[in-house]
Each structure stands twice: as C-alpha cells, then as structure tokens.
A and B are shown apart, each in its own frame.
Chain A
C-alpha cells in the first residue's frame, strides 16, 4: 500500500507502523463519573467497520508523524490522510 503523507508525499506503507482505530485519540476523562466504563469501551470495543475506517499509522521509518488514514477495509483504497495531531486538535484535544 501507499500512504500519501501530508508532509512528505506518497510513501510505502511498510515505512509505517499500524496501531488501530483513530477512536484511540478519544481518550476519556480520567475524572469522569463513568471513567471505568469509558476507559473499558475506549480500550476494548471497536466499530471494526467493513468500509470506511479512520485509523492510526505511525511513520516509524520516516518523520515519526502519527497519521489518521481514512481507508476502506473492503478495498484498501485510501481517501484521506491527515496529521493525527490536527485531527486530535479538531476533536478538542489540547494538553
């Protein structure tokens, strides 16, 4: 596969390490009432869609960017690649 890195252009997927669903960005609030349940769901349950999937790839053999790649799990076609940091910020994460 080829991942079109937003900063570096197209790179072979073997330069990257895969983590999983980009919902891993949505780490729950540790002080919330339901933190135990929220962390369980965050840590263990997945949509695992057959179709479009937002997922985290790490450019381990490159610039060490974490990327959010939108890829179809039935065809492997990639429709979007973003810096995970930008996605995290857009989802309201900060410090």
Chain B
C-alpha cells in the first residue's frame, strides 16, 4: 500500500519505513507516526463502530481525548481492547483490529440498531423489558450484554511485568507544551528539582502541531531546543510517555509511564508500564486545552474531525485525512487549519464559518454566516451540505471536514479533590476554580491563556510564583499572540440526529429528552443518557451537552451546573495499579526457620496468614490426609511429637511496671505470677469480646514473654502499644515483637521430657518437680545454645515449648528428630495440632471469632472483677450475661461414624428445623483417632447446663442431619493429669 495521504514535512522519520497491520491488511508507516496518523496516511478513515447504534466511525481527534478511533491492539495474551489509535505510537510489526463489529467493520450486523435508533432513545430500557420478570435474565439482558461492551479480553493472564516507583521533587510540571516547557526552563535554571511529565512521546504540545514561530525558530524546533537544555540539567527529570493520572492528598500525584508500549517486544525483565507516586511540594498544571466540536446532522461520519486534529496530522505527522477538506468553524482557529492544509497542497473546498464577519481569504472560499446542516457517506464522508445565509444550500464534495467550536481548558486535575471549575464568559469556557488541590497552580491554555506568547509568559510566571523565585523574568521569545475570540456555538438548529458523545451515541435530542423527562441536573443528564461515561470520559462532549441543557432550561451555563472530572485522567490498565503484587507475589510469604527441613520431609503446607505452615507430613503409602493426621495424633499422644509453632506471636515485655501492665491488658491477674512461671492469659477487646488468648511467662521480675495466636500477632502488639502509649503513658514498660527472633517448637507427649532431657544441657533440671506444669526458664541446649523453655500444653499432653534463636531453628528440629528416633518421634502439622486441641477443648480461631465473650468460651471466671482490665466493664452488659448465652460445649455424634460439620446448626431432636429454633452452631470439627469418633466443639444456648442432652446437628447446605450428644468440651483427659505428669 502506498501512503497516498502523506504530505511533505512533519516530524516523522521518512528514512525508515515500518510495517503494520489493521484488520489483517498490511500497511506501511514511519517512526514518529501514531497508529491514527498511519491509518490516515493510508487513506483508512473507517476505524470502528459506535457503542449503541454501531454507526461507522473514524478518528475525531489526534490525542488522548479520542472517543471513536479505538481498536484492539496486539494479539494473543497481549490483546489490549479499547486502545486509542491516536496515542498508539507506531512500531514495526504493530497489529490492530477494529472492535465492536460483526462480522466485519464494513458490514456490521448490529448496524441495524441504527435503523431503530428512534426506539432506542435515551433511557428507553428503563421503560420496558419488564414483562415477564423472568425474561430479563434469560432473554433481554443477554442480548443487551452481547451487543454492548466494546473490545474484548483475551481471557488469558497478562504476561507482562509492571512496576511501581516513587519520585520526589520541588515542582511537578504536568504537560510539556509552551507553558510547561517555559515553566520547566524557569524552574530548572533556578536550580529547583523539577519533574516535567507529558503523556505524549514527543515534548512540545501544540507547538508540534502549529506552524507558528517562536523567536526565530519553528515552534517544534524551539521545543526541541528547550528539551535539549532541560536534558542537560541534573535537577530536571523529563518524563515522556507519562500521564499524570490523578491529584491525591498532600501533594501526591499518580503517574503512569508507558515504558514498553511503543516497542514490539519488551526487553527481558523490563516493565511494560510503571506506576509512579510523585511526591511534590508544588505542582503546575500545564495541560493545555481541548478543541470542542459543533453538533450537526450526521456529524459522526468517518472523515469528520476536529479542525485542530487535521492541523496536527498535517503539520506534525505530514498526513491529511483526505485530499479534499472543508472546515466548519465558529472562530478564527478553524481558519488556521484551512491555511495550513492549503499551504501543504490540500484542496480546501470551503471554510464554513457561522459568523457573518468571518475573515476573508483569497486562496479558498469562505462561506460566512453559513452552517453545515447535513453530511453524506455511509462508511466515510463524501458530501457536506451547507445552509447559506440567503437560505440556499450548497453541497461540498469532500473527504474530510474539520470542525472547530472553540477550545476548552483541560481543567481535569483541578477537580480531583472536588474542586469545581468556574465559567468564564470571555472564553465561553470553564476555567480552573479557586479550590484547587493544595500546592497546585495552573498555567497556559489550561488556565484560559489561549495564545502561544501568553502560554510562555504564564508558564514562566507561574513557575516563579510556585517556587517563590525572586529572579528577573526570563526573556521570552517572541511568539504568536492572538488570543482566540470564542463565541459559543454549540449545535446547528433543527437537526434530527447530531452527536455529542460519539462513542456512547448521545445526541442533542437525547439531552433535550433528558430535560423533558426531568433529568435536569448535570449528573442526572450524564447518568440518564450515559453522556461522558465512555472511555474518553466526555472530554469532547460534556461541555457542549451542558450548554445545550442550559439553553433548554433557559438558564446560564453556570446556573445549570458544572461537570467535574475524576481520576484517572486517561484509563490505566488494572495491571499497572497491581504492579508486581500478583500471582505468588500477591502477598509476601513468610517461612519458618525449619521450613526447608519440613519440605525435605514432604510436608504439605497451608497458608496461615502470610505464613506457610506444615499441615501434615505424609509418609510413603499414606493415601489420604487423614491417615497421616491420625498417625501424627496417635503417635504424639502415645509417645512424642514435635510441632513448629514459630508463627505464634511473641512479645517481649520489660520494665518495672511490666506485671502491672499485663494486669491491665489481660482479663485475668498477673501481678502475683512468680518468676519462673507461665500463665494462660485471656485478652479482651474493650467491648468485652475475647481478642486473643495466649501465655505470658515471667522470666524475671521485670521481664515477661507474651505469646499470641498466629492470626492476632500483629493486632495484639498494636493493641498493647496503644494501651502502653495512649492509656498508661507513665508506666515503665517497653515492648518489642520477637516473633521472628525465636524459632519455637512444641514437644508434646508422654515422652516429651525424655526427649528434651537428651538435648537440654545437664545443669538444667527439667524433672516434674524442678520444672512443673507452667514452669518456664532460660536454659541452654546442645552444649550451650541459649534457649527458652516453657512447660505449656495445647495438646493436653505432657508438653513443652522450646525456643531457640531463629538461625538455630532448623538445626534444633533436625536434632530433635534424631534424638527422638528411640521414641519414634513424629513431626506433626497444623491438622494434628487442631485435632488435639479440639480433643482437649481448647478454643482457637474458630471460637475466637470476635463475637465470643469469656463467658461464652467457658472462661468467665478468668475475668477478674478486682482490677482495671481492658474489656471487663463492657463484658458485663446485660445481653452478654443472660442465663441462656451461648456456651462452649463438646459435640459427639450418637453414632461415632456420623459426620460432624463445622458451621452446622443445633436444633432440638424433634420439631421444626428453621431459624426460629436454632440454638447454636458447631465451631470446629475433627475426627478423633483417640476416641474413634467424629467430634466437634460448638456454642450452644445455655450449653453448660445441657450436658448429655441429645440434639440434631443440621447442615442443610451440605445436606446433613446428625443426632448428636452435648458433652463436655474436654474430650481427652478432662482432669488434666497427663499434662501435669
């Protein structure tokens, strides 16, 4: 294919030709092109289909405000729906497909919607599809859903990498047009740390699109020279291809840098995009302005574009949309397009200017006081019909029509913290209001300064003001200085269908209907008609629609309302926000010191918060997890087992007031705990619910070691710091988390002492007399390794927990296994741990569910009334101490082989099974290999007084009904003889 619409000049690399494909046809382009300019160069005007009516659509703009020219870029698992052709940088091998059409772009079956558009007016769906009710999900909705949507996902995982980063500066300048560049020069020369970011791959903004000179250079040359100077400054960072997407609190800006979207294949290890958080003291918004359209009949045909876009394509990309171009304008800017295109040899059919006093031109025809009233061309513009002031009409044959309705400042980021733009009558546009994000100021066209000279000056002044520079004003180059006079002209009267939001197919009529039906606030208008909700966020449509609403309402535009904008400025891939935190890296993985030992042993691991813990240790020949778990339980209760409990939270509490402090934190008393003893501690939240349970071991008068459950390690530490710093600030006590400093192992079972005696150094006596139940102490093991020993038991067996510095955890585990061979020691995992604690009736996570009190758990007596413990006052509220409150019970099926389901509910053996007769629920369940029965723990109304009662355990969700007996929660060794042995 030849690039038949290519012009002379431009900022493209003509020496290199690249190939690309669109809808499976091959084309050529040059580096420096966008996909949009390349398509135009190849005379492709039809690019997509609209959302609702599937109307043929081409490019409207040359920038990120594009509503129509959106495609599916790339293929396979890199397919990227809804990608703007106008911002897609050309590379060799680029592939794109049109979207939202079937079977083809030229013939789209759903184009039939357009014929019925009269029936599909704004909000029609709210008024119908209601009968019969069941048809919505089955018939109406699936049809609507298939027709709607735009591009499609590959349904495969995104294979690319993304990254995040943080940057800091004195001044962030958003936009590198004339004002942004001048601001950066001013700030950079003054030595400030500056970041200059622009969404484009080429700095310069409109300077690259215009033929104006700046000083004695072309605008683009001046921009290139400014960039060269800025690049040489070590205090200035230039970020091209970087969109500042949002203004967040306290001077934090989100920015997305597209590091890999302009290449065919990412270099290995390089991210596709980077999400930057930029921390800045001051921000200067130099985002320029966006040309706005005029609405008229059939103004959406491929080839009808913004006049400024035609100029950009001609001057920057050396491309014209057609060899025959007409212009429709209400201001002088439209004439610039005509002049520039004419100068490049494009035939200007006419400039249609709604003003009676339009400027005269001798190179081409200017139709003053005229309006475009209709257009023709099914898949692309062929004719434009013009109404002349004398009432006659003229038909212009042309392939492109440039439309200019004036310019709107890009105020988007000024609204991100709920700031509202204000209407400026002189410009007939919204300009930034007064309530901007703190530290942000606006310069150039974004602030309503609509000339190049003004932009340069405004940028320089604003940068100096933001940084409080007292330097003399820089000498500014001479530049174009003719501010645009804008008289509002929003739409041509009397048209049947004139598009405002081209992507979502919202017309002038829809706005009027919205008003007629009472949807008169701007927000109602947007929500009722879907105006501005498309991928372009209404950048080219919102203001015109608002103006039309104002006209219909007979109000001024500011009386009618304002539209504000929300982040992100342009859409951002979800992957970019996720960065590296996905897949296995979604959360950090915490491994205990003996993790690799467990892995060698073939352990099956389970996620416990961020930890991985061994769940069980299957032996060869064990086919079902229950076989392994049953063996681990039996062997531990019969001889000895070792379990890694490093993940328990460990908090060192030291200071003269340590005991008093724990006395406040725990519901039970701690002041009288002697040195060398451990106590079970029950911690309440201030609302009286159990927060956590654990132990506190007194290693010295002023030194305790507190353990918490794995799940609550962080919360408990935070809570204890709260109590220490906020409630009792003068207590002499210090806290430090030592969870990761100590590897800790439970050694449980009748032979646990014998096993430990083999490794505990001989000077430490751990006999029952010297080291009784709940004893604790600093010891050494294995010939001098310091360790802590606690005689505590979660399993109900004679048991110890032994802690060594983390780096010795792996070695200790191996040693225990070797020394324990004579006892046939087993390692046991969290499943066996869970079985044994259920057998013993210990509450754990499923019981400590945040809604249980000490009384519920059978621990009511632990809550001391004689001291100021957190939570004790509110634990006595009336509903929490009623006689029939839930109490922890054991649950045993009448037939031992019957299943007990955690989450099942408890009912009387006869009578209805419904919520009104629900008396409690099963919290935990397990198979006990000791009792040869399924067992469970549960919370039952007045459960403490219902021992021996038969009940029905029902779980309709899992289709289960079992007759059970209510028993003590202590299934094994209720008297505690074993653990004191």
Note whether A and B contact each other (Cβ less than 8 A): yes
Which of A12, A31, A43, A95 sits near B874, CB closer than 8 Å?
Answer: A43
Q: Which residue of B lies closest to A29 (CB)?
A: B868
One of B330-338, B384-392, B586-594, B727-735 contacting the partner: B727-735
Is B783 close to A, CB under 8 A? Answer: no
B873 A1 Cβ-Cβ under 8 A: no
Contacts of B687 in A (CB 8 A): 43
Q: Pick the contact of A85 from B251, B729, B872 — CB < 8 Å?
A: B729
Residue B475, interface by CB 8 Å: no
Q: Is A80 an interface residue (CB 8 A)?
A: no
- Check B660 for interface membership: any CB of A closer than 8 A: yes
Is the Cβ of A94 less than 8 Å from the Cβ of B728? Answer: yes
Q: Is B769 an interface residue (CB 8 A)?
A: no
**Which residues of B are found within 8 Å of A66, using beta-carbon distances?**
721-722, 725-726
User: How many Å lie between the Cα of A2 and that of B248 in the bound state?
Assistant: 10
Asked if B876 is at the interface (CB within 8 A of a chain A CB), the reply is: yes
Chain A interface, >50% SS class: mixed
User: What residue in chain B is nearest A94 (Cβ atoms)?
Assistant: B730
Decide yes or no whether B252 CB sits under 8 A from chain A.
yes
Asked if residues A27 and B874 are in contact (CB atoms below 8 Å), the reply is: no
Contact of B251 with A39 in the complex, beta carbons under 8 Å: no
Name the interface residues of B654-706: CB closer than 8 Å to any CB of A. Answer: 657, 660, 686-687
Q: Interface residue count for A (Cβ, 8 Å)? A: 36
Chain B neighbourhood of A2, CB < 8 A: 249-252, 279
Q: Is the CB of A93 within 8 A of B727?
A: yes
CA–CA, A29 and B727, complex, Å: 11
Closest to A83 in B: B725
A17 touches B718 (CB 8 A): yes
Picked from A76, A78, A85, the residue with its CB within 8 Å of the CB of B726 is A85
Give B735's nearest chain A residue, CB to CB: A64
Tell me the dominant secondary structure on chain B's binding face.
mixed
Cβ distance B31 to chain A, nearest Cβ, rounded Å? 40
Residues of chain A contacted by B868 (CB below 8 angstroms): 30-31
> Is there contact, CB below 8 Å, between B728 and A30?
no
Query: What is the size category of the interface that chain B forms with chain A?
Result: 20 to 34
Q: A30-B873, A77-B438, A78-B250 are in contact. Are A43 and B729 (CB under 8 A)?
A: no
Distance to closest chain A CB from B610 (angstroms): 14
Given A2-B251, A30-B868, A95-B731, the answer on whether A85 and B874 have CB atoms closer than 8 Å is no
Chain B nearest Cβ from A87, distance in angstroms: 8
A39 contacts B873, CB within 8 Å? yes
Contact, CB under 8 Å: A58 / B722: yes
B250 nearest in chain A by CB position: A2
Let me know if A88 and B726 touch, CB within 8 A. Answer: yes
Residue-wise interface mask of A (14-46) relative to B, using a CB-CB cutoff of 8 A (1 in contact, 0 not) = 000101000011011011000110011011000
Q: Judge whether A30 and B725 touch: CB under 8 Å.
A: no
- Residues on the A chain within 8 Å of B728, using CB: 93-95
Nearest Cβ distance between residue A66 and chain B, in whole angstroms? 4
Residues of B within 8 A of A31 (CB): 868
Instruction: Report whether B872 and A30 are in contact in the complex, using a CB–CB cutoff of 8 Å.
Output: yes
| B775-813 contacts to A (CB < 8 Å) | none
Given A2-B252, A64-B721, check contact A56 B874 (CB 8 Å).
no
Q: Which of B249, B714, B872: most chain A CB closer than 10 A?
A: B249
Which residues does chain B contribute within 8 Å of A17, judged by CB atoms? Answer: 718
Q: Closest A-chain residue to B660, C-beta based?
A: A95
Q: Which of A58, A86, A93 contacts B718 (CB 8 A)?
A: A58
Q: Tell me if A88 and B718 are in contact (CB < 8 A).
A: no
Taking a contact as CB atoms under 8 Å apart, the answer to whether A95 and B726 are in contact is no
* Interface membership of chain B positions 630-660, coded 1 if the CB is closer than 8 angstroms to chain A and 0 otherwise: 0000000000000000000000000001001
In the assembled complex, the CB of A63 is this many whole angstroms from the nearest CB of chain B, namely 10
What CA separation (Å) do A59 and B438 show in the bound complex? Answer: 25
Question: Which of B248, B718, B731 is in CB contact (< 8 Å) with A60?
Answer: B718
* Interface core residue of B279, B660, B725 (most chain A CB under 10 Å): B725
- The one of B252, B438, B730 in contact with A89, judged by C-beta atoms closer than 8 angstroms, is B730
Determine if B729 and A89 form an interchain contact, defined as CB atoms under 8 angstroms apart: yes
CA distance A63 to B972 in the complex (A): 45
Q: Which residue of B lies closest to A28 (CB)?
A: B873
In chain B, residues 795-851, which have Cβ atoms closer than 8 Å to a Cβ of chain A?
none
Taken residue by residue from 861 to 902, chain B's Cβ proximity to chain A (1 for < 8 Å, 0 otherwise) reads as: 000000010001110110000000000000000000000000
Q: Which residues of A contact B727 (CB under 8 A)?
A: 25, 27, 88, 93
* Residues of B bordering A, CB below 8 Å: 248-252, 279, 417, 438, 657, 660, 686-687, 714, 718, 721-722, 725-731, 735, 868, 872-874, 876-877
Chain A residues packing against B (C-beta within 8 Å): 1-2, 12, 17, 19, 24-25, 27-28, 30-31, 35-36, 39-40, 42-43, 56, 58, 60, 64-66, 75-78, 83-86, 88-89, 93-95
Of all A-B residue pairs in the complex, the 4 with the closest CB atoms, nearest first, are A2-B250, A94-B730, A85-B729, A88-B729
Known: A65-B725, A66-B725. 19 other contacts (CB 8 A): A1-B248, A2-B251, A19-B722, A24-B726, A25-B727, A27-B727, A31-B868, A39-B686, A42-B686, A58-B721, A64-B721, A66-B722, A66-B726, A85-B725, A89-B729, A89-B730, A93-B728, A94-B728, A95-B731
8 contacts between A and B (CB under 8 A): A2-B251, A30-B872, A43-B686, A56-B722, A60-B714, A66-B726, A93-B727, A95-B660
